[in-house]
Amino acid sequence: MKRTILTLVLTAACISAQAQISELVRQGNATQLMHGGKPFIILGGELANSSASSGEYLDSRDTWKYLAESGVNTVLAPVYWELIEPEEGRYDFSTVDYLLKSARANGQKLILLWFGSWKNSMSCYAPSWVKRGFNSEFELAANSDGSIPEIMSAFSERNVRADAKAFASLMKYIRKADGSEGTVIMVQVENEIGMLGDARDHSRLAQNAYNSPVPYDMMYMLTSGKANDHINDVWKAAGKATTGSWKEVFGSSLEADEIFMAYWYARYTERVAAAGKAEYDIPMFVNTALNSRGRKAGEYPSAGPLAHLMPIWKTVAPSIDIICPDIYDKGFASWISQYATADNQLFIPEVRQEPENGARVFYALGHHAAIGFSPFSIDNMPQEKDYPLKKAYELLTPALDLIAEKQAAGKIYGMLADATEKETVLTINGIDFKCRHDLTLGWNPEAEDPDKWGETAVMIMDMGNDMYLFMGTGVVTTMSPADGRGRVGIERIDEISFDDYGKMQKIRRLNGDENHQGRHIRIPFGEYGAQLLKVYRY
């Protein structure tokens, strides 16, 4: 009897520790980050690059308090190779301890960012014992003109072993220090990987690989139809050879060079990620510097986990669970759509910190069922109480369980509007919801000035029984039957808040001026709100 009870207790303890370890699980229509037995949506913020090097620095600025007040539930914080392994094989995890302790004390989850071999292409976070061995024991990449950037070569066995060993030690440490609590919910491997200065590494080791046969897994990806149009086009233009060196199979072009490098970057990253996962198996991702502003390979961090190279990364780096975009350019909606694919659930670990993020988070969660959203340099976000992201996170926080449920059920939709893309029609249950930027009404004096428009967004959740929950900012919506027969009317609209348990509470009935005498449902520009609509047909 005693033994049975003991077994039961131990099993329960095991299950509960297990439940704390996060994992990515396909649930209905979305892949979700499961934590503590339920989906967890990340309302995140990434610390500025140097902030996590000093606990005193963060504390002196009251960072944790400020993050909690901002509605952030997850902090993305770097772990620096140079600090955790100051001498080869001697580890110092005090910066990690500080993060764990502070995050727990302040009710935050953590996503740790491994600043290992590469940070924005460069290798500035390599420890001094690695740096001092550059060009002897450790290898750097080389440009075609013979210049040597401070970029560790993806072709060096010594490089990848050192990085993988350090990363494995970090993951082992996190498992021991945090495996039962699960404060760390994901880990980013390296940061914005990619070759700069040239589309490919021309070092001796790289040239050897370049002149060697294209490896089997890459060839198989091509011949089994698993590549995308971009890769296929480069292959086709070079004659579609099924064996041969990289030049023989892909020809000589910037695009071909980038494909070659993507394979080797992905392979290196896989070695590092797999070594870490062998110690502690939690979700891992890579982040991507975009090929924006018409730049050519070599001008942006080339061969990183970019959308046009995704099949290579997915094939060669299976330990990487998701590929994530960092958005610092115009065109938020179009960039993120490239990273929201059937086999890649969207997570945005970095987006330039700007007021528009208050709208974008609704769109990312609603339209793409994103796992989460995280503006960069969150510790330097403006402190005003009603800064847009704070308003958005405040509104979203108590609704996250509902949002996760609707994401899995495929019953959530989203639209984003700006001065050029003013309107989107979402068809739900045979009803066209025509969602427009609120300034299209022309009621607000700011409508005159296109520079004042800013981005606005709404998510719509199908609640069943003719009810639709709208959450967002600056969007006005009218409804009509998708088949053009009859009309869709507003039976009622209630302004809603959520209690601490996520249960909807009615604030007030919205009618009259608030819904333009029954003509539309509207969350005005500059305001953030939740409104529950019930429609009828006549």
Residue ranges in contact with ligand DGJ by CB under 6 A: 49, 120, 191-192, 326, 350, 376
Q: Which residues contact 182 (CB under 8 A, 6 or more apart)?
A: 20, 21, 22, 35, 36
Min dist. Cβ of residue 436 to ligand DGJ (A): 33
Q: Toward ligand DGJ, which CB reaches closer, 326 or 418?
A: 326
Min dist. Cβ of residue 459 to ligand DGJ (A): 27
Q: Toward ligand DGJ, which CB reaches closer, 51 or 315?
A: 51
Min dist. Cβ of residue 191 to ligand DGJ (A): 5
Among 408, 381, 447, 308, CA closest to 24: 408
Q: Rounded to whole angstroms, how far apart are CA atoms 309 and 326?
A: 16
Q: Which residues contact 461 (CB under 8 A, 6 or more apart)?
A: 366, 402, 403, 406, 411, 412, 413, 468, 469, 471
Min dist. Cβ of residue 352 to ligand DGJ (A): 8
Min dist. Cβ of residue 326 to ligand DGJ (A): 5
Q: Toward ligand DGJ, which CB reaches closer, 291 or 473?
A: 291
Q: Toward ligand DGJ, which CB reaches closer, 77 or 317?
A: 77
Min dist. Cβ of residue 124 to ligand DGJ (A): 11
Neighbours of 310 (CB within 10 A): 22
Neighbours of 176 (CB within 10 A): 12
Q: Rounded to whole angstroms, how far apart are CA atoms 504 and 457?
A: 21
Min dist. Cβ of residue 125 to ligand DGJ (A): 11
Min dist. Cβ of residue 349 to ligand DGJ (A): 8
Q: Rounded to whole angstroms, how far apart are CA atoms 377 and 78?
A: 12
Q: Toward ligand DGJ, which CB reaches closer, 167 or 453?
A: 167
Q: Toward ligand DGJ, which CB reaches closer, 313 or 498?
A: 313
Q: Rounded to whole angstroms, how far apart are CA atoms 353 and 351?
A: 6
Neighbours of 81 (CB within 10 A): 23
Is the Cβ–Cβ distance between 193 and 141 less than 8 Å? Answer: no
User: Residues 502, 183, 369, CA angle at the centre, nearest 5°?
Assistant: 50
Two structure tokens written together for 359: 């709208």
Q: Toward ligand DGJ, which CB reaches closer, 252 or 380?
A: 380
Taking phi over 0 as left and psi of -120 to 50 as alpha, with beta for the rest, 165 belongs to alpha
CB-closest chain residue to ligand DGJ? 192
Min dist. Cβ of residue 331 to ligand DGJ (A): 17
DSSP designation for 382: -
Q: Toward ligand DGJ, which CB reaches closer, 121 or 531?
A: 121
Q: Which residues contact 238 (CB under 8 A, 6 or more apart)?
A: 248, 249, 250, 251, 256
Q: Toward ligand DGJ, which CB reaches closer, 329 or 405?
A: 329
